[in-house]
Structure formats: C-alpha cells, structure tokens
Amino acid sequence: MSSLRPVGRSAATLDKDRVSLCRFTFADGRQCRTPRSGKHPHFCFDHARKESQARSAGKLARELSYFFSVSSVPPFVFSVLILSSFSLFLSFCFSPV
C-alpha cells in the first residue's frame, strides 16, 4: 500500500507552508495555491484586487441607492456620484495586471 504522506517532509512543515498560501476557495471547492500578498492578510495579489474592486462597487451601489432614495438630490451630490462612478469604471477598465 502506498502512503499518502510525502517523503522527507513532516506534517508540521506542510501546515506551515499552507499558512502562507491564499485562502480563496473556488466555487467547486478547490483552493488557490498562490502565495499571499504582502499587503493583504488572507489573499494573493489577484484575489485581493478582485475583493477590493467588489467592495468599491458595493460601496458605490449603497451610496447611489441612498442618494436616489431621497426625494430631491442636490446638484453637487449628483456630480460627486457621477465622478466617483466614472473613476470606478476607469479602475475596472484599466486595472494593472
């Protein structure tokens, strides 16, 4: 019978190696095996960037829904929302790879 443990490496060493990997889990249950980014505590560079973009989009959506739920929107608020949505759009289109 074959052993499932790799030769020459202890279980403690494998656990230490897994700690430094990205914690993103795909829809089918696989886990990202890219090393974590130095700027994010849990994700690699790509997944940290995607999470940041998703949070920015969610924040903008909350701001838009709040300001459009008010009966009258002041013109300066409307212009700020347009500019912030435009900058978010540009960051999605021209994000560094």
The residues with which 21 forms a beta bridge, in sequence order, are 35
21-47 residue pLDDT tens: 988 889 999 999 989 888 888 889 888
Q: What pLDDT, on the 0 to 100 scale, is given for residue 28? A: 94
Query: Is 40 exposed, middle or buried (CB count within 10 Å of its CB: 0-12, 13-18, 19+)?
Result: middle
For the chain, give every domain's residue range.
11-93
Q: How confident is the model at residue 40, as a pLDDT?
A: 81
Q: What is the pTM of this model?
A: 0.51
Residue 25, beta-bridge partner list? 31
pLDDT digits (tens, 9 = 90+) for 48-91: 888 888 888 888 888 777 767 766 667 777 777 778 877 777 77
CA 57, 58, 59 angle in degrees (round to 5)?
Answer: 90
